[in-house]
Amino acid sequence: MKLLYFAWLRQRIGVTEETVTLPGDISTVGSLLTWLQGRSDAHATALADLSVVRVAVNQDYARAADPVSDDDEVALFPPVTGG
């Protein structure tokens, strides 16, 4: 799975993107986020408050129950502040 990070999530995690291989029991956005929290101290800090984390799967907004797989591009970012 290709993971992308934006804005302060990118800064806190310290990388723009990374490629991961999902354990077999990770199949939803929600379980992915929980798993990523344990990936490093930086991930744990950046993802401590999931209420300010938004997720896009293959460039569409996704919710906790939506499915993910190794073939997906998943982006994590704060609430958007465009325009």
Partner 1 sequence: MVRVQRDDIDVGAELAAMTSGNHRIGGVATFIGTMRDLSDGQSVAAMTLEHYPGMTEKQLEAIEQEANTRWALEASLIVHRYGRFLPGDRIVFVATAAPHRQAALESCAFLIDWLKTKAPFWKLEETNDGARWVDARDSDDAATARWGQTPK
Interface positions with partner 1 (CB under 8 A): 4, 6-8, 56, 59-62, 75, 77-83
Who's near 39: CB < 8 A, 6+ residues apart?
20
Alpha carbon of residue 50 to chain centroid: 10
Instruction: Give the residue with the Cβ less far from partner 1, 7 or 15.
Output: 7
Least distance to partner 1 from the beta carbon of 15, Å?
15
Residue 76 CB, nearest approach to partner 1 (Å) = 11
| Minimal distance, residue 17 CB to partner 1, in Å | 11
Nearer to partner 1, 23 or 82 (CB): 82
What are the residue ranges of helices labelled H in the chain? 7-13, 29-37, 41-46
Eight-state DSSP code of residue 28: B
Which residue's CB is nearer to partner 1, number 38 or number 65?
65
